[in-house]
């Protein structure tokens, strides 16, 4: 990438000397024009792409200061260097208010001039690269989010990297998500820039699409394996990468992008972490087996159901038929609408990409349990669901022990994730808060009706640590156990 230079001086010897005696191309500069005054220079600028202007101050018709002022008003992208004699030194300093980048005293020291020009050249190339990458990023975003059938992206590569088994909301602290994504993008673009200009856009919380502008025809398996290793080392998570080795412009690019997403959608069922899209063409099987659908419907209509097994069957079916995760999820959602005639109260999350069998199975199980619970509630006259009644009864019978949410979930035959949502929905509290509530209500009763010591009551309701019991009691009741006992006994 070369920058175009205009030299302006009323002394022809100086303009020719600067234009012809310096090996400008070695410094990524081409002298395209010379001019003898400001008016002539502005005419050249109006009809040509100029990046840098080197101008004298003292010239007839329009001097260098006025020229710098006009450039700032109408061509602010152009970088200006002013040449000044000793007598005009303060005059040259005044020119800085017109966005003049630098000034040099005559006679010009060539080494110093080249140093200043090299600095400006770096700025210009950096700005151009940034603008071009911004345009490429916008075009890539259009391809991902606007689903355009054609694109003006030049030929190159498409790469998709996914962080495996990652729901950002659960596994990464909210304040760190931006930092993690920033490191991810920086690492991918740094490595991919060895092949060409690289830009990236997140298509999901844990899925990054990268476009590389490159004339290379092949991106090696070793390069992509190295990329996965670097990301794992940097972010502490496993990554999978899919790639289209060479893409074309227009509608073929849209097809290549669809194939990339399809291949990433198969990664949950594959053992490899680097996937060549050409080896994973979409399959034509469109429906789930009728027997499997009827089994799901039957389970939905039973009083209590364990959906883990049927979720495993669905996952296995998708794996053997070549389905993507999203296609399986689409069919699972459709069963609810077509066979049960209800709109689910919650959908399977789409903010992140599911890309492991275990997480897929867990997600489907959680979804079916939600639908099952919704069906049961629809048949009730109102009030607390029977699942929550069961959970509450178990907690009230076992609150004095080291009780965990997962234990209660196992007893009522649902996943821990769904139980956490259920108890929050039914009581307005998280599990630990609800457990504290049950324990403290019993503690209040004992404080009022018995003479047990405070630490004994704490142990009786499940708090082995006396100080922790007092802390929790005061936090929730507003006074210490001793103060509470005094107030209620006095009444």
User: What pLDDT digit, counting tens, does each position of 358-368 carry?
Assistant: 888 888 888 88
153 and 248 inside one domain: yes
158: left (phi over 0), alpha (psi -120 to 50) or beta: beta
275 and 309 inside one domain: no
User: What pLDDT digit, counting tens, does each position of 85-135 carry?
Assistant: 765 666 666 667 777 888 888 888 999 999 999 999 988 888 887 787 888
313 and 400 inside one domain: no
Q: Looking at residue 99, what is its pLDDT?
A: 75
State residue 154 phi and psi, 5-degree precision.
-65, 165
294 and 196 inside one domain: no
328, 330, 336, 342: CA torsion to nearest 10: 170
Q: Looking at residue 242, what is its pLDDT?
A: 93
Can you give the pTM of this predicted structure?
0.59
Cβ atoms 68, 156 nearer than 8 A: no
312 and 393 inside one domain: no
101 and 167 inside one domain: no
How far is residue 23's CA from residue 212's CA, in Å, rounded to a whole number?
Answer: 33
> 157 pLDDT exceeds 50?
yes
CATH number of the domain bearing residue 90 = 3.40.50.2300
Q: Is 135 domain-assigned?
A: no
pLDDT band at 378 (very low <50, low <70, confident <90, very high): low
Instruction: Work out how many domains the chain is built from and give that number.
Output: 4
Burial of 73 (0-12, 13-18, 19+ CB in 10 A): exposed
Which H, E and C letters describe 369-434, residue by residue? Answer: HHHHHHHHHHCCCCCCCHHHHHHHHHHHHHCCCCCCHHHHHHHCCCCHHHHHHHHHHHHCCCHHHH
pLDDT band at 474 (very low <50, low <70, confident <90, very high): very high
Helix (H, G, I), strand (E, B) or coil at 70: helix
Q: Looking at residue 4, what is its pLDDT?
A: 94
Q: Is 216 domain-assigned?
A: yes
Percent of the chain residues topping a pLDDT of 70 = 86
Q: Looking at residue 251, what is its pLDDT?
A: 61
pLDDT band at 249 (very low <50, low <70, confident <90, very high): low
| Residue reference for tokens 């005009």 | 88
pLDDT band at 139 (very low <50, low <70, confident <90, very high): confident
Q: Select from 10, 285, 4, 244 the least CA-distant residue to 143.
A: 244
pLDDT band at 289 (very low <50, low <70, confident <90, very high): confident
Write the DSSP symbol of residue 462: T
Q: Is 137 domain-assigned?
A: no
State residue 286 phi and psi, 5-degree precision.
-110, -20
| Residue reference for tokens 């049950």 | 438
Residue of 443 and 76 predicted with greater confidence:
443
Q: Which domain holds residue 111?
A: 3-124
Q: Looking at residue 461, what is its pLDDT?
A: 93
> 379 pLDDT exceeds 60?
no
> 381 pLDDT exceeds 50?
no
Q: Is 98 domain-assigned?
A: yes
How far is residue 364's CA from residue 384's CA, in Å, rounded to a whole number?
Answer: 24
> 336 pLDDT exceeds 80?
no
353 and 306 inside one domain: yes
CATH number of the domain bearing residue 229 = 3.30.70.270
Q: Is 138 domain-assigned?
A: no
Helix axis angle for 431-449 and 481-490, nearest 10°, is: 50
> 298 pLDDT exceeds 80?
no
Strands in 28-122 per DSSP E: 29-35, 52-56, 79-84, 100-105
112 and 20 inside one domain: yes
Number of H helices, E strands in the chain: 20, 10
Q: Looking at 252, 279, 306, which one is the last position of a domain?
A: 279
> 149 pLDDT exceeds 70?
no
Q: Give the mean pLDDT of 286-304.
A: 77
Q: Is 37 domain-assigned?
A: yes
> 150 pLDDT exceeds 80?
no
Q: Is 40 domain-assigned?
A: yes
Strands in 89-232 per DSSP E: 100-105, 156-163, 197-204, 207-213
Q: Which range among 24-38, 162-176, 348-362 shows the weakest confidence by mean pLDDT?
A: 162-176
Q: Looking at 357, 376, 395, which one is the last position of a domain?
A: 376
158 and 272 inside one domain: yes
pLDDT band at 334 (very low <50, low <70, confident <90, very high): confident
Taking the CB of residue 87, how many other CB atoms lie within 10 A of it? 9
How far is residue 378's CA from residue 64's CA, in Å, rounded to a whole number?
Answer: 82
261 and 355 inside one domain: no
User: What pLDDT digit, counting tens, does each position of 385-438 carry?
Assistant: 667 777 888 899 999 999 999 999 888 777 888 888 888 888 889 999 999 999
> 148 pLDDT exceeds 80?
no
> 136 pLDDT exceeds 80?
yes
Q: Give the mean pLDDT of 181-188.
A: 93
CATH number of the domain bearing residue 473 = 1.10.10.60
356 and 414 inside one domain: no
Q: Looking at residue 335, what is its pLDDT?
A: 81
Q: Round the average pLDDT of the chain to a whole number and report it.
A: 84
Q: Looking at 376, 408, 432, which one is the last position of a domain?
A: 376
> 490 pLDDT exceeds 70?
no
273 and 327 inside one domain: no
pLDDT band at 287 (very low <50, low <70, confident <90, very high): confident
Q: Give the mean pLDDT of 257-263.
A: 90
Q: Give the mean pLDDT of 322-348.
A: 77
Tokens of residue 440, six digits: 């403290």
Q: Which range among 38-47, 140-149, 200-209 shows the weakest confidence by mean pLDDT?
A: 140-149
Q: Is 131 domain-assigned?
A: no
């Amino acid at each position: 990438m070369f920058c175009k230079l205009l030299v302006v001086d009323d002394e022809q010897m100086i303009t020719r000397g600067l234009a012809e005696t310096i090996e400008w191309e070695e410094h990524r500069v081409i002298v395209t024009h010379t001019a003898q005054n400001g008016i002539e220079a502005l005419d050249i600028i109006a009809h040509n792409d100029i990046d840098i202007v080197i101008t004298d101050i003292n010239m007839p018709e329009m001097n260098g200061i006025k020229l710098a002022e006009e450039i700032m008003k109408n061509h602010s992208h152009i970088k200006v260097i002013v040449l000044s004699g000793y007598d005009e030194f303060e005059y040259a300093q005044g020119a800085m208010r017109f966005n003049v980048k630098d000034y040099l005293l005559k006679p010009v020291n060539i080494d110093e001039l080249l140093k200043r020009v090299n600095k400006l050249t770096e700025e210009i190339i950096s700005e151009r690269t940034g603008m071009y990458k911004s345009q490429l990023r916008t075009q890539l975003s259009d391809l991902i989010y606007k689903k355009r059938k054609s694109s003006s992206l030049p030929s190159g590569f498409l790469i998709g990297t996914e962080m495996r088994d990652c729901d950002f909301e659960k596994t990464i602290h909210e304040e760190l998500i931006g930092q993690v994504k920033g490191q991810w993008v920086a690492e991918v673009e740094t490595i991919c820039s060895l092949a060409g200009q690289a830009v990236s856009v997140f298509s999901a919380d844990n899925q990054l699409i990268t476009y590389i502008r490159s004339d290379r025809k092949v991106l090696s398996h070793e390069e992509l394996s190295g990329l996965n290793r670097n990301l794992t080392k940097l972010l502490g998570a496993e990554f999978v990468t899919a790639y289209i080795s060479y893409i074309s412009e227009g509608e073929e690019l849209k097809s290549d992008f669809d194939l990339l997403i399809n291949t990433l959608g198969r990664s949950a069922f594959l053992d490899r972490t680097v996937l060549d899209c050409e080896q994973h063409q979409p399959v034509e099987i469109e429906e789930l087996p009728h027997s499997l659908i009827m089994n799901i419907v039957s389970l939905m209509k039973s009083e209590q159901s364990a959906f883990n097994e049927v979720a495993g069957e669905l996952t296995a079916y998708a794996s053997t038929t070549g389905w993507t995760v999203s296609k399986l999820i689409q069919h699972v959602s459709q069963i609810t609408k077509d066979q049960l005639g209800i709109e689910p109260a919650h959908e399977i999350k789409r903010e992140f990409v599911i890309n492991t069998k275990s997480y897929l199975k867990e997600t489907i199980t959680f979804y079916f349990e939600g639908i099952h619970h919704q069906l049961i509630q629809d048949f009730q006259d109102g009030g607390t669901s029977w699942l929550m009644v069961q959970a509450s009864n178990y907690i009230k019978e076992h609150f004095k022990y080291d009780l965990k949410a997962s234990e209660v979930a196992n007893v009522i035959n649902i996943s821990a994730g769904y139980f956490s949502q259920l108890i929050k929905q039914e009581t307005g509290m998280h599990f630990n808060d609800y457990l504290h509530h049950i324990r403290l209500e019993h503690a209040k009763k004992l404080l009022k009706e018995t003479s047990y010591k405070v630490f004994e009551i704490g142990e009786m309701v499940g708090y082995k640590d006396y100080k922790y019991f007092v802390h929790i009691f005061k936090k929730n009741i507003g006074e210490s156990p001793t103060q509470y006992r005094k107030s209620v006994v006095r009444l």
